[in-house]
Structure 1
């Protein structure tokens, strides 16, 4: 049962004020997914807490989660492009849809994170003798960003998008090394094989992936991202944003775990990089403004 059907099925059990919210949504569901909670409350003639109560009565975590599920009920989408975009959308419409879908999806991912697993991953990363970050396709760009972040941390880091070099690296892993693998689908055969190779050679394998997938099952530790995106049909967008955001969480945890003395080293790295940039008051021609 999708969200629209869920609303229809529960109409009779809603309170009088919650029924007003339901009626406003059912009258124009396409408009509702683009409204703020304040705008929807005003249209229904109720308070914002009433809108939140209505959303939770439908077994959602709140208004952002409700909007995401409602959008999924309405989505027909354009195959290979975006599930939320219609063929006749103008630039404002598809821009709003993409941003709102991304924000709602990230909020859903945030609420689904396992903090104990994240804490354990930070421990492993902090204690590792060497860090390797691998992915294929769009996940490779996230792995590359991970290398850029962790290179600043005065620890050996390796990244490549060449599957042969990835395999060689995993075959040469040793106890105390950590290998972080990115794959939204968790079904890419080469990535699952990398996890197996790295584990066979003593490495700790952290997978950033989807639940109940081959990669999640084979990894030493799986950080699961609940992203409602079918990358077999649509261009991966939100899944990549979720991976990048979780990567920031791990890098921040790594920095905090290492302590103040370690952050002094980060400061030196930042200062060393500053000389490669133009001063803010200097134009491209070299003249000061």
Structure 2
């Protein structure tokens, strides 16, 4: 393996100096971790500790010790620091509105194309089958991922699928506790490591419900508890809606699959829902 030193200090503006500056005093294992983080800082924000351990070839315990040695409480604090560094870099770059539009457009197109390549058509088919046949679908997502969860419930309900989403965690846990093998949980989580989302998924899994997760982290706690994992790409830049964009993209694909499977029943449901809603417009 090549020395971590040159790789970590050749990142230019994204070298994460607070890590690179500590290289001379790091052990071989710590250099491996630093090498992974500085080579792909955008990925580092969304990597779980398990994924980082795999990529660096070290144990999770070694990563925890590494974080403490750098004066962080844990791996999550380190990720937050990396995210802040990258956000500060982008903010200092400035630029016109025109540049911002071009950057957002190119980044979004790249993310969608990368996600399309990551998605396994067989898994997408299985997910659409499960959702179309489900008695109930509970859409789970908190924070930014809650936007995708609410959109999923709204659009699935619009084609006759009895879907729901809850912002209140207690209500969400209660809804999940009442699921059984005829139900589905559709979970959205960029990192796949959010404790509350993991708790809902674990509960649904124990109840025998089919768990479908949409996540960037295929080896995360949420992914490990899922029957079907739909992996998405991630830019990992703080302060953007990149994660929501790819989640809604996957939702659009699933919606097309469900419409195909439900056929006339979906069309009838959509007409009934539309009629009720249109009656509320001026």
TM-score range, shorter chain: 0.5 to 0.7
TM-score (ref. length: structure 2): 0.66
Equivalent residue number for residue 255 of structure 2: 251
Structure with higher Rg: it is 1
1:120 Cα deviation from its structure 2 partner: 0.2
Structure 1 residues 12-50: Cα deviation after superposition (integer angstroms, max 9, x where no partner): xxxxxxxxxxxxxxxxxxxxxxxxxxxxxxxxxxxxxxx
**Greater share of residues in helix:** 2
- Contact 1:138 1:236 (C-alpha < 8 Å) held by counterparts: no
SS in 1 for 2:280: coil
- Local SS of the residue matching 1:133: strand
Would you say 1:136 and 2:142 are equivalent positions? Answer: yes
**Which of 216, 223, 235 is matched with 1:228 structurally?**
235
Q: Matches of 1:172 and 1:268 in 2, distance apart? A: 27
Where 2:158 maps in the other structure, the secondary structure is: helix
Is 1:277 aligned to residue 255 of structure 2? no
Distance apart, 1:273 and its partner CA: 2.8
1:153-203 Cα distance to aligned partner (Å, 9 max, x none): 233222101111111111111120101111001111111121110111121
Unaligned runs of 5+ in 1: 6-75, 279-289
Residue 222 of structure 1 deviates from its aligned partner by 0.9
Matches within 5 A, 1:42-53: none
Q: Does 1:213 align with 2:220?
A: yes
Total equivalences in the alignment: 204
The structure showing larger relative contact order (alpha-carbon pairs under 8 Å, at least 6 residues apart) is 2
Contact 1:77 1:85 in 2 (8 A): no
The answer for unaligned runs of 5 or more in structure 2 is 1-6, 12-81
The equivalent residue for 2:162 is 156
Query: Partner residue of 2:208?
Result: 202
Matches of 2:223 and 2:167, distance apart in 1: 21
Cα RMSD (Å): 2.6
Partner of 2:267: 263
Aligned to 2:43: none
What is the CA distance between 1:104 and its match in structure 2? 1.4
| 1:79 Cα deviation after fit | 4.3
Q: Distance in 2 between matches of 1:132 and 1:93?
A: 40
Determine if the alignment matches structure 1 residue 189 to structure 2 residue 187: no
Report how far residue 126 of structure 1 moved.
0.8
Q: Could you tell me how far apart the structure 2 residues matched to 1:102 and 1:183 are? A: 18
Asked if the contact 2:166/2:172 (under 8 Å) is kept, the reply is: yes
